[in-house]
Structure 1
Amino acid sequence: MTALSSRAGTKGVPRAARERQVLAAATEEFGRHGYDATTVAAIATRVGVTKPLLHQYFGSKQDLYLACLNPVGDQLLGAIRAAMAEHDTGAPPTPLRVLNALFTALDGQREAWFVLYDPSLPPDSDAARRAAYFRDAIDDLAATGTADLLSTAGASDPLDADALKHAWRGLCTALVRWWINHPEQSPEAMTRRCARLLGAAHTILANGDDST
């Protein structure tokens, strides 16, 4: 992500712009370090404002986290739903459409995925419940997609669909983590890479790996 100016949020910056700067910095900090290890003071220092000002604008640390989480969760859900609803002739397979939607939604805020999938959220907190809502909604979409894929392939064991759903979540998380470490990769490049990888995996599984 683009580094924020050390004077962002100083006197003369409109409040709306200042809030956007805070949310961009906070999303990256929460995504990189997790809720527990992220401090409001560190976010304020990065943006160039005071800690009291952040509390004035966003309330508590949990309120600031929720202000980061909600737009990310809504954007990801909307993008995945749209990708799964697309049935145009010649469109890429559903897994590739979903991956492209995910990469496109996260472009410019790649760490946001880990705001949603943060194991350090306080148990039974509003933050944990809201994150669980988004994760469950994404899992429900994944469950529908994997069940459809397995049904097309003639598989009928519901545990297969459940296992594939969990594997899909892990794959998405691993790909986003790799993407963060390769900032030069665009969403389109990532989608093409995934198409090659999925195609190679399909060929290996279909023909058997004769290298051993």
Structure 2
Amino acid sequence: MPREVRERQMLDAAVVGFARHGYQAASMDDIAEEAGVSKPLVYLYLKSKEDLFTACLRRERAALVEAVRGGTQERDVTAEQQLWKGLCAFFAHTAARPDGWAVLHRAATQGEPFAREVAGMRAEITELVRLLLSRAATDAGCDSEFAEREVSGLAHAMVGAAESLAEWANAREGDAPSAKETAATLMNFCWTGLGRMTEGARWSPHR
């Protein structure tokens, strides 16, 4: 069997094991059995449990970022529509690969170097969202001060909310919403407020 096929089998099995049991509790024996190979072969290919987990994170990170970028690539549409399509792609991907998302979402609690991999993924997606929000603010006629001061924070908030919603949606099992329904929930929560902000409205605790 070609090496890349064998490695893919090992990574597939490892993602299931790490999602089900967590990094510390996952068994290399169980992962090897799930992959249909011997444990020495897993170590031959991927050196250590840490290297195996890192390889899983990098594969799942690349797949998720690629899915989100692909969702936002449609030309000749508004930034709002690009963001909507990107969110739909994000939630479709996390729903289709729940084990991969579980591994990514929980890896930050495992310390370095795993947290660094997750932070890199989050930074890539947040920058993409920031660019779309900045473009939307500019299209709405907002001044540059608004864009510079608030768009970055809004992007971080939106990505954090998306991650939390993906975890919530995947946990609902038989009652899981569709990717579009989850994306609409986030757009209703975030975009309606953003629309009012671009019109000059601001919330105040002294109302």
TM > 0.5 fold call: yes
Which runs of structure 2 are paired with 1:14-25 in the superposition (5 Å)? Answer: 18-25=6-13
Question: Match for 2:108: what amino acid?
Answer: P
Match of 1:35?
23
Cα 1:88/1:149, change in 2 over 3 Å:
closer
Cα 1:111/1:49, change in 2 over 3 Å:
same
Match of 2:155?
165
* Structure-2 separation of matches of 1:139 and 1:107: 20
- 1:97: Cα distance to partner? 0.6
Match of 1:57?
45
Which runs of structure 2 are paired with 1:52-91 in the superposition (5 Å)? Answer: 52-89=40-77
Q: Percent identity of the aligned residues? A: 31
Match of 2:183?
194
Alpha-carbon displacement from aligned partner over 1:138-196 (angstroms, at most 9, x marks no partner): 22212222322333442615342222122112221122112322345789x22144326
- Unmatched 5+ stretches in structure 2: 197-207
The alignment partner of 1:99 has SS state of helix
Asked if residue 142 in structure 1 is aligned to residue 125 in structure 2, the reply is no
Which TM-score applies when normalising by structure 2?
0.70
On the 8 A contact 2:72/2:85 being kept in 1, the answer is yes
On the 8 A contact 1:110/1:176 being kept in 2, the answer is no
- 1:115: Cα distance to partner? 3.0
- 1:20: Cα distance to partner? 3.2
Which has the higher mean CA deviation after the structures are superposed, 191-200 or 66-75? Answer: 191-200
On the 8 A contact 1:111/1:180 being kept in 2, the answer is no
* Structure-2 separation of matches of 1:159 and 1:38: 44
Which TM-score applies when normalising by structure 1?
0.68
Cα 1:35/1:200, change in 2 over 3 Å:
closer
Cα 1:197/1:109, change in 2 over 3 Å:
closer
Alpha-carbon displacement from aligned partner over 1:45-79 (angstroms, at most 9, x marks no partner): 54454432321232211221232222222222222
* Structure-2 separation of matches of 1:84 and 1:190: 15
On the 8 A contact 2:9/2:35 being kept in 1, the answer is yes
Higher helix share: 2
Alpha-carbon displacement from aligned partner over 1:4-27 (angstroms, at most 9, x marks no partner): xxxxxxxxx887655433322312
Q: How many residues align?
A: 190
* Structure-2 separation of matches of 1:200 and 1:128: 28
On the 8 A contact 1:36/1:120 being kept in 2, the answer is no
Match of 1:100?
88
Which has the higher mean CA deviation after the structures are superposed, 100-109 or 71-80? Answer: 100-109
